Structure 1
Amino acid sequence: MDFKTLLPTWLQDHALPLWTGAGMDGATGTAWEALDHDGVPCADMQRRLRVQARQAYCFAKSENPAHQALALRLFRFAMDHGFDSASGNLAARLAPDTSILTAPHDLYDLAFVLLAASALRAIGVDVAADLERLEVELAKLKAPRGWYENAARDLPRRQNPHMHMFEAATALFAITGKRRFREMAEECLGLFCNVFLTEDGRVLEYFAEDWSPLGADEQAVEPGHMAEWVYLIDRYEQVTGRRADVRTSTLYGAVLARRDITGLLPDRADPASETRRMWPQTELLKAAVAMARRGETPEGAPSPEAVMSLMWEQYLDTPVAGGWYDKRSGTGVLLSDNMPASTFYHILVALRFYLSDGTSV
């Protein structure tokens, strides 16, 4: 199958129209949390503020002015209605009517609002005042090393929000050239190299307050995050022109060693889970593309085209064009009954990276 011809059409003619159309709630002007496999909104589901930011990011990447206008609308919703009036904290969960249910001021959510701001800035939208406000909000979570999880400083501390801060800071540096964003990225990179990454290439997820790793019974290893770091480190090096001093071949080798019998990634490893969602496969694709462009693909590793073919067969070839299947068992049995809007961010970035042979997002 000629994916270099198929995928631009799938994105522009099917996926973006689906998620800017059926994927939007006309009553509130916000994104639905999910569509079912018939493309019908799951209207009773709670919503997450991060989904509004992720969809804003995706729509800003479209060349369609209507989609870009929708991106700005979702971003403005996050900025103008996403902060709790009583606490001042950024919301996390919203009721179906978009009223705020929880507002923990979570680092993960702030990272995605910052990422959306970077995409809008890239298409010429003036978000200077919003960025200034977001940096003030982020400063409330600053820890001696990295950032706290949220305003309550909940434990355990996690690598995942710092990975997305690395992503957002790198994107903001790429657009603005401001040193402070590069320094934010490098703080996250330092944590990755010295705390999250093990000598054998695993990436640990959970830590105590002093960044010591939790024990095996409280720990997790997610191959999708390991693959995502391969891509993000490559992206950082492209944007900054600096070497990250990470043995990406060791990290990528650890990713490949955790594939299941189909060649795809389980949700968790060591021991492997019996499920595999769509999003880890998009990260496997991005890692494969990055390593191929760098000329560092190990012997026996799948080509980007081989990963893309598996993704298409298992997740993207669906009755609703532009949709996807979210979760399968390790043997391929479909387990999900809806397509989360949050996954579009993973898919869009992966497909754009694949189509550019690893030179753009």
Structure 2
Amino acid sequence: MTIDQPPAARDAPAPDEAGDVSRAVKAMAEEMRGWLFAAALPRWHAAGIDRERGGFHEAIDVATGAAVDAPRRARVQPRQVYSFLEAGRMGWDGDWRTPAREGLALFLERYGLGDGTVGALVSAEGALLDPGFDLYNQAFALFALAHAAAEDAGRAPAYRERAARLLARLKAACGHPAGGFHEGAPERLPLCSNPHMHLFEAALAWEAAGGGPAWTALADEIAGLALERFIDATSGGLREFFDADWRPMPDARGRILEPGHQFEWAWLLVRWGTARGEARALAAARRLFAIGEEHGVCPDRQVAMMALDERFAVLDPVARLWAQTEWLKAALALAEIAEGAAARRAYLGSALRAGAALRPYLDVPLAGLWRDKLEADGRFRDEPAPASSFYHIVCALSELDAHARRL
């Protein structure tokens, strides 16, 4: 198999099984939607929201169901806002609007800084512990604001103004002359592709919410940066860490590729490339997916692993939950644009394998929680269920639900 082909023909269903594949995807979507609506959302609504002090908890104990009382990272709060907003869009009949609106308001109040950016860490009591700048956190602030603006027309102007102010600050303080952003001001290394991935996601969300040309321009800029700098022209793999000129770091960090990010960038590039009619982006997405599936999925455990090197040898065999959700999203996106029935069936078959990879993470005594890390020996690490995973889960199951309805 060449690296930019769809999943291998031997993995694809036989022609007479095409209907079975579609039925299996529909059944998986129904199963996952049922788990999300009946178990996960009620669990995180009941135990994941701090009703005494406000905001969202960092984690829930998988054995007791009790919230973990810990300082709260900036990235988690807007992710949870999105998760409840998306639940509402999917049709969950629980109270999704209150935690989303109150959670966003509290996030902006507690983490917001005078220059329009957000700090990094707040205590459980609501005190700002770390006002430090992290580009990753700014991306999720923009992401939550976009989804909130799409849901709430009355508050949308205020959300648009807040997001525009933050974007202007990023450009003024951290803009890179070759495109994208530095990690902070003053500048520091390495430059990272991962925050740009989430800025790309936020820009596409703002574009969908009618945010205006600034967001279209940002999406185009980051897509161009990915195609020209993040993705290696020879292998087609996407790197994580770069020097000041957007070249891979000369040390070991410059060799790292994450299978989960190959999938996640593939999903985003399909969205952008389809909207722009950019065949190059779609070809790059297929290539990224092939790398992730062929080299990043453990042949024994059948899960997407954490890290490869530039030759696609395994660097870190731990398999985290989020990578399985990104595998699922990318497979579904590529099935949508597949050229021919055989390629489409192959991508749907891969989506089914991604769903099978995800299920064991969700198989815990208290329904609606999950495990995060599967070790190389096949055992899950014993730790609380992190709230940060919910965004990945909800997004993947939303994509699955929407795709199944189109079959």
Q: 1:44-85 deviations in whole A, cap 9, x for unaligned? A: x22111111000011111224721121011111121221246
* 1:140 aligned partner, one-letter code: R
Structure 1 residues 359 and 170, CA, compared in 2 at 3 Å: closer, same or farther? Answer: farther
Aligned length: 356
Q: Distance in 2 between matches of 1:198 and 1:236?
A: 19
In the TM superposition, what whole-angstrom CA distance separates every residue of 1:126-145 from its partner, at most 9, and x where no partner exists? 23223223322232222122
Counterpart of 1:69 in structure 2 is: 98
- For the structure 1 residues 172 and 84, does the alpha-carbon distance in structure 2 shift closer, same or farther, using more than 3 Å as the test? closer
Choose which of 291, 302, 313 in structure 1 pairs with 2:334: 291
1:174 maps to 2:208: yes
Indicate the residue corresponding to 1:42 in structure 2: 68
Deviates more, 1:119-128 or 1:50-59: 119-128
The answer on 1:95 being equivalent to 2:138 is no
Residue 298 of structure 2 is aligned with which of 244, 256, 260? 260
2:197 aligned with 1:163, yes or no? Answer: yes
SS of residue paired to 1:61: helix
CA contact (8 A) 2:260 2:323 kept: yes
By how many angstroms is 1:205 displaced?
Answer: 0.6
Q: SS of the counterpart of 1:310?
A: helix
Larger Rg: 2
- Residue 119 of structure 1: aligned partner: 147
Unaligned runs of 5+ in 1: none
Instruction: Report the CA distance shift for 1:49/1:150 in structure 2 as closer, same or farther (over 3 A).
Output: same
Structure with the higher helix share, 1 or 2: 2
Looking at structure 2, the residues matched to 299 and 134 of structure 1 have their Cα atoms a distance apart, in angstroms, of 40
1:207 to 223, 229, 242: 242
Give the RMSD, CA atoms, in angstroms: 2.2
Letter in 1 for 2:84: F
Corresponding residue for residue 386 of structure 2: 340
Instruction: Give the counterpart letter for 1:19 in structure 2.
Output: W
After superposition, the Cα gap between the structure-2 partners of 1:82 and 1:254, relative to the gap in structure 1 and judged at 3 Å, is same
1:184-235 deviations in Å (ceiling 9; x for gaps):
0010001100000013121111111221210251222111011001111122
Identity of aligned residues (%): 32
Q: Is the 8 A contact 1:107 1:138 kept in 2?
A: no
Give yes or no for contact 1:157–1:211 (8 Å, CA) kept in 2.
yes
Higher mean Cα deviation, 316-325 or 129-138?
Answer: 129-138
Counterpart amino acid of 2:262? M
1:236-251 maps to which residues of 2 (within 5 A)?
236-238=272-274, 240-243=275-278, 245-246=280-281, 247=283, 248-251=285-288
1:304 to 336, 340, 351: 351
Is 1:221 the counterpart of 2:267 in the alignment? no
**TM-score normalised by L of structure 2:** 0.82
TM-score by length of 1: 0.92
Distance (Å, rounded) in 2 between the aligned partners of 1:24 and 1:308: 28
Relative contact order (C-alpha < 8 Å, sep 6+): which is higher? 2
Residue pair 1:196, 1:205 contacting (<8 A) in 2 also: yes
Structure-1 separation of matches of 2:344 and 2:247: 32
Determine if the alignment matches structure 1 residue 14 to structure 2 residue 14. no
> Counterpart of 2:47 in 1: which secondary structure?
coil
Deviation per residue, 1:18-55 (Å, 9 max, x gap): 11210111221110011111221111x22111111000
- SS of the residue corresponding to residue 265 of structure 2 reads helix
Would you say the 8 A contact 2:149–2:159 is kept in 1? no
Point out where structure 2 has 5 or more consecutive residues left out of the alignment.
1-23
Q: Which moved further from structure 2: 182-191 or 7-16?
A: 7-16
Q: What residue is the counterpart of 1:3 in the other structure?
A: 28
Instruction: Give the Å deviation of 1:277.
Output: 0.7
Counterpart position of 2:308: 269
